[in-house]
C-alpha cells in the first residue's frame, strides 16, 4: 500500500512515516498544501492521510481540488480540530473518514485498511486466491491452511499481487507500492522478495512473465 502523508508538524510527520514504513507500507510525506497538490497530481496513492491546518494551502482546499479533478483516492482527515463544523466540512468536501489527534496507531492502521477495502469493493480484510489466504487486518498468511511467516516487505508484495489475481504488475509498479520517496532500494530487490516468497509459499502460485512482471493465480499459457 502506498500512502501519502500530508502533515506540517515535523515530529508527527516523522514518527508517522516511520511507523507506516515499519508496517511495510510505502509512505511519502509532504508538509504543505501545494506539495500535496503536486504529489497527488503526479502519483497514484492507495490512501491519503490529510492534516487540515497546513501552510500554503489548507487541507480542505487540497481535498476539494482533488475531488474536483475526479480523483477518488481514499482520504482520511487527521487533525486536532474537533469542532463539529470542521468534521462536517471535511466529510462534505470528500473525506472518507476522520481521525482526531492524538490517536492510536492501531486505530489509524485499521481505518486505513477500511477505506482501502471499501474503495476496492471488498467486504472483509481477507484476500483469497485458491488455497492461499492473506488477511490484512491480522497480517496472517496461510497456504492450504498452513500458516506462513512473511517479512513486512514480502507481505506487502504478496498483498499487492493478491488484490488483483491474474493481473500482471511490473517491477516498477511493485517498487512504487513497496517503497516511499528516498528509501534505499537495491535494483534487484523485487526479484529477491519474489524468490523468498516462492521458497515460503511453493513455486506454483507466484509467477513471473519474463520482461513484463509478476502475478498470482493459475499460470498463464505462453
Question: Rule CB under 5 A: which residues touch Ca ion?
Answer: 8, 51, 53
Quote the DSSP letter at residue 220.
P
Tell me how far, at minimum, the Cβ of 7 lies from Ca ion, in Å.
7
**62 vs 161 by CB, closer to Ca ion:** 62
**81 vs 153 by CB, closer to Ca ion:** 81
CA distance 106 to 148: 23
C-alpha cell at 61: 482546499
Tell me how far, at minimum, the Cβ of 86 lies from Ca ion, in Å.
12
C-alpha cell at 86: 470542521
Tell me how far, at minimum, the Cβ of 52 lies from Ca ion, in Å.
7
Which strand (E) or helix (H) includes residue 146? strand 146-148
**7 vs 163 by CB, closer to Ca ion:** 7
C-alpha cell at 12: 508527527
Q: Integer distance in angstroms from the first to the last C-alpha of the chain?
A: 30
Minimal CB distance to Ca ion: which residue?
53
Q: How would you class 3 by CB atoms within 10 Å of its CB: exposed for 0-12, middle for 13-18, buried for 19 or more?
A: buried
**53 vs 165 by CB, closer to Ca ion:** 53
Q: How would you class 126 by CB atoms within 10 Å of its CB: exposed for 0-12, middle for 13-18, buried for 19 or more?
A: middle
**54 vs 178 by CB, closer to Ca ion:** 54
Tell me how far, at minimum, the Cβ of 182 lies from Ca ion, in Å.
22
Pair 193, 157: CB distance under 8 Å: yes
Which residue's entry shows cell 515460503? 200
Tell me how far, at minimum, the Cβ of 137 lies from Ca ion, in Å.
29
214's CB contacts (< 8 A; 6+ apart) are 161, 168, 169, 171, 174, 190, 194, 206, 207, 208
Tell me how far, at minimum, the Cβ of 75 lies from Ca ion, in Å.
15
**76 vs 129 by CB, closer to Ca ion:** 76
Amino acid at each position: 500500500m502506498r500512502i501519502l502523508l500530508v502533515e506540517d508538524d515535523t515530529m508527527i510527520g516523522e514518527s508517522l512515516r516511520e511507523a507506516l514504513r515499519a508496517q511495510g507500507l510505502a509512505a511519502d510525506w509532504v508538509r504543505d498544501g501545494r506539495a500535496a497538490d503536486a504529489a497527488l497530481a503526479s502519483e497514484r496513492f492507495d490512501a491519503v492521510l490529510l492534516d487540515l491546518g497546513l501552510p500554503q494551502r489548507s487541507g480542505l482546499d487540497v481535498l476539494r481540488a482533488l475531488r474536483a479533478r475526479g480523483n477518488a483516492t481514499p482520504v482520511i482527515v487527521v487533525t486536532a480540530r474537533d469542532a463539529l463544523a470542521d468534521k462536517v466540512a471535511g466529510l462534505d468536501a470528500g473525506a472518507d473518514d476522520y481521525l482526531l489527534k492524538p490517536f492510536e496507531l492501531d486505530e489509524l492502521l485499521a481505518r486505513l485498511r477500511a477505506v482501502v477495502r471499501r474503495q476496492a469493493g471488498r467486504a472483509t480484510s481477507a484476500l483469497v486466491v485458491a488455497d492461499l489466504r492473506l488477511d490484512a487486518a491480522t497480517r496472517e498468511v496461510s497456504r492450504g491452511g498452513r500458516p506462513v511467516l512473511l517479512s513486512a516487505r514480502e507481505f506487502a508484495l504478496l498483498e499487492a499481487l493478491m488484490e488483483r489475481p491474474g493481473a500482471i504488475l511490473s517491477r516498477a509498479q511493485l517498487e512504487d507500492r513497496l517503497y516511499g520517496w528516498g528509501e534505499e532500494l537495491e535494483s534487484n530487490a523485487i526479484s529477491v522478495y519474489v524468490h523468498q516468497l516462492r521458497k515460503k509459499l511453493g513455486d506454483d502460485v507466484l509467477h513471473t512473465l519474463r520482461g513484463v512482471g509478476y502475478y498470482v493465480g493459475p499460470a498463464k499459457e505462453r
